[in-house]
Amino acid sequence: MRPNKIQILTAKKANPKADPPEKHCRTGTSALEREIDMLVYELYGLTKEEIMIATQILQIRNQGSI
Structural domain spans, the chain: 5-62
d(CA 17, CA 33): 13
User: Which ranges in 1-66 belong to alpha helices (H)?
Assistant: 5-14, 29-43, 48-62
Q: b/e per residue, 30-47, with b = 16+ CB within 10 A?
A: eebbeeeeeeebeeeeee
Reported as a single tens digit per residue, the pLDDT across 1-55 is: 455 677 777 777 787 776 655 554 555 667 777 888 889 999 999 999 999 999 8
| pLDDT number for residue 11 | 75
